[in-house]
Each structure stands twice: as C-alpha cells, then as structure tokens.
Structure 1
Amino acid sequence: MRKPRDFDSELKVLADKAKALKERRVRQLGELVTATGADALDAELLAGVLLDAVASKDAATREGWRKAGAAFFRGKQRKPAPRSERNSEGALPLEGGAASH
C-alpha cells in the first residue's frame, strides 16, 4: 500500500521557497539601487521616480530607459551616469508625472 502524501509538509516547503525567492528579489533590488547610485536620492524622490516610470505610457521614453538600463548592465564597471548626464533634480525627469511638493 502506498504511503499517503503529506500535503502540509509539501506546502511548508513551497512557502519556504517562495519566502527565500522574495527575500532574494528584495536584496537584489537593494543592490541595484546602490549600484546605480540611486541610494544617494531621498526615499521620497526615488519612490516618485519609480511611480512615474510605472505609470508612464510613453513608449519612446520607456524605450530610452530600457536602453540606458541595458547599457548599464553591459558596462564592465557599472558606474552611475556622470552628473552632467543626469537631470539636475535626480536620475529621471518627473514632468507630467508625480507632483513635486
């Protein structure tokens, strides 16, 4: 006769794997923020920039961001953009998106 499956232990293993994957993703996102130099931004500014990027429907702008990101990952030294290439307000313009206070 076959041994019955222990669904509770299988669910626990899956939950543990999901938790580990979520922790890994959060850690990698933190490393990405640090590697790009965005850790120098205020948390409110960084959140606003990310919210604007998520809400952006402009395909040309999104493609520009994608290309800049791809170039960053292809780069050997992975340095943030020089100050002369950054927007004076932060890493990305907030025009038409998040309101500044």
Structure 2
Amino acid sequence: MEMMMRKPRNYDAELKALEDKARELKIRKVQQLGELVIATGADTLTAEELAGALVVLAETTDAGRREAWAKRGAAFFRGRSRRPAPAPDRDIGGTAPRPGGAQPASGATGAA
C-alpha cells in the first residue's frame, strides 16, 4: 500500500498574506474616511475640532439622534443634502459652542 504525503502548509506564508491583506484593507479604510471628510467639507475644521465632534458622535447613545444623523448621511450620499461646511448652527450632539481661546494655532496635529 502506497501512502501519499500531503505537501505541508506554509503557515508563515499564509500568515504574511493575511497580514498584507489586513494592511491593504486598513489603508483603504483610512483613504475612504479621508475622502469622506473632504467630501463633507469637514476638512476645513482643525484636527482638534474634527476629533472632538467625532468623539461626541461615537459617545452618543441616543437612538433617535443617531437615526436622524443616519438619515441625514443617507441624504448626503444621495446628493440631496450637501450642505457647505462649516455651519456654526450645525448640531453635532448637543455640545456647547467651542471656546474661542482654546484652539491651537495649527490644525495639523491629532487625528490619525
């Protein structure tokens, strides 16, 4: 009786391929998020303002508010509600207006 030996799997190569794929997906995600920031006009905000707004959004658990944001986002993607940014009256989650003296001179730091 002849026994056939299977070729051993190259786990190192498979792991490297998975890591490469994960890296590509992360790069694509970062690029798409950057494109979204630009498309919405949010690239006119400082990194600190944008990060602060995103923190408020991420921390919000109010289902009604999140649903309203989702509807507005869907309308944006349909091209019906492209509102120029920045709009001082825009509601980003019930936060108080930002203090004028708390902004750094450069918006180039922070959100990565």
- Would you say 1:28 and 2:35 are equivalent positions? no
1:75-90 equivalence runs, <5 A: 75=79, 80-82=82-84, 87-88=87-88
TM-score, structure 2 length as denominator? 0.73
Letter in 2 for 1:10: E
- Would you say 1:55 and 2:59 are equivalent positions? yes
Range that drifts further, 58-67 or 16-25: 58-67
Q: Displacement of 1:95 after TM fit?
A: 2.7
Number of matched residues? 96
Structure 1 segments of 4+ aligned residues over 3 angstroms from their partners: 91-94
Corresponding residue of 2:21: 17
Residues 42 and 50 in structure 2, CA contact (< 8 A), matched pair in contact too: yes
TM-score, structure 1 length as denominator? 0.80
Q: Which has the higher contact order (CA 8 A, sep 6+)?
A: 2
Q: Displacement of 1:74 after TM fit?
A: 1.1
Unaligned runs of 5+ residues in structure 2 are 103-112
- What is the rounded CA distance, in whole Å, between the counterparts of 2:87 and 2:6 in structure 1? 66
What CA deviation, in whole Å up to 9, does each residue of 1:4-44 have, x standing for no partner? 11000000000000000000000000000000000001111
Letter in 1 for 2:60: S
Percent of aligned pairs with the same residue? 52
Q: Which has the higher helix share?
A: 1
